[in-house]
């Protein structure tokens, strides 16, 4: 019995460890520094090498936008942790904003029905739900509109 339980426990430990490693509290929305890719994730309190004169706009898992201005020694991200639901939503949003993943789908019909218009998607939760339902084009356009209409907060 102990021999069967050991591999199971080891597998669970690896799975939970991998999930925790992938979770992050912030993602890059825009950057004047090409070293930071759109959709790149960071943990709260992390130190990033953002040079003087550079600007980095991040989205926290809660949906708040934060703009950081670079300094000679880099900058430290605010220490604001995300809960699991926010982290899950941020993971989906990362996929949507990452440069390689930004593909518009020509059809507005999916297995679950007709995709809503991007104008009707006014919250991050609604955008994530539509993305998960297969309406990538509508969700992507709605996310870009949402990002453009929200002012980042300076720390």
Task: Look at residue 7 and tell me if it is in a domain.
Answer: no
Q: How many CB atoms lie within 10 A of CB 59?
A: 26
Q: Has residue 5 got a pLDDT over 60?
A: no
Task: Look at residue 28 and tell me if it is in a domain.
Answer: yes
Better-scored residue on pLDDT, 105 or 90: 90
Task: Look at residue 3 and tell me if it is in a domain.
Answer: no
Task: Look at residue 17 and tell me if it is in a domain.
Answer: no
Q: Count how many domains the chain has.
A: 1
pLDDT of residue 28: 92
Q: Are 154 and 67 in contact (CB under 8 A)?
A: yes
Task: Look at residue 94 and tell me if it is in a domain.
Answer: yes
* pLDDT cut 90: percent of the chain above it: 26
**What are the residues facing 31 on neighbouring strands?**
56
Q: Determine the average pLDDT of the residues in 78-98.
A: 84
| Across 58-67, 80-89, 102-111, least confident range | 102-111
Range of the domain at 43: 23-149
DSSP states of the chain: -HHHHHHHHHHHHHHHHHHHHH--SEEEEEESSTTS-TT-EE-TT-EE---TT-EEEEEETTS-EEEEE--TT-EE----PPPHHHHHHHHHHHHHHSGGG----S--EETTEEPPPGGG--SHHHHHHHHHTT-HHHHHHHHHHHHHHSPPBP-
Task: Look at residue 6 and tell me if it is in a domain.
Answer: no
pLDDT of residue 112: 56
Task: Look at residue 18 and tell me if it is in a domain.
Answer: no
Q: Using alpha carbons, select from 101, 104, 89, 98 the residue that is nearest to residue 142.
A: 104
Q: Has residue 69 got a pLDDT over 90?
A: yes
| Whether pTM exceeds 0.75 | no
- pLDDT (tens digit, 9 = 90+) per residue, 8-18? 444 434 433 33
Q: Using alpha carbons, select from 106, 88, 25 the residue that is nearest to residue 60.
A: 25
Task: Look at residue 141 and tell me if it is in a domain.
Answer: yes
- Round to whole Å and give the CA distance between 118 and 82: 27
Q: Are 143 and 65 in contact (CB under 8 A)?
A: no
């Amino acid at each position: 019995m102990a021999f069967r339980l050991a591999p199971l426990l080891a597998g669970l430990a690896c799975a939970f460890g991998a999930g925790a490693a992938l979770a992050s509290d912030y993602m890059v929305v825009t950057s004047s520094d090409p070293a930071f890719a759109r959709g790149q994730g960071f943990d709260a309190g992390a130190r990033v090498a953002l040079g003087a004169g550079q600007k980095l706009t991040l989205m926290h898992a809660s949906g708040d936008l934060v703009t950081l201005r670079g300094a000679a020694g880099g900058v430290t991200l605010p220490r604001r942790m995300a809960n699991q639901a926010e982290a899950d939503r941020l993971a989906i949003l990362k996929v949507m904003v990452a440069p390689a993943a930004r593909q518009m789908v020509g059809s507005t019909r999916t297995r679950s029905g007709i995709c809503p218009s991007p104008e009707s998607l006014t919250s991050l939760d609604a955008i994530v739900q539509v993305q998960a339902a297969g309406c990538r084009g509508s969700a992507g356009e709605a996310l870009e509109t949402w990002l453009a209409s929200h002012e980042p907060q300076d720390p």
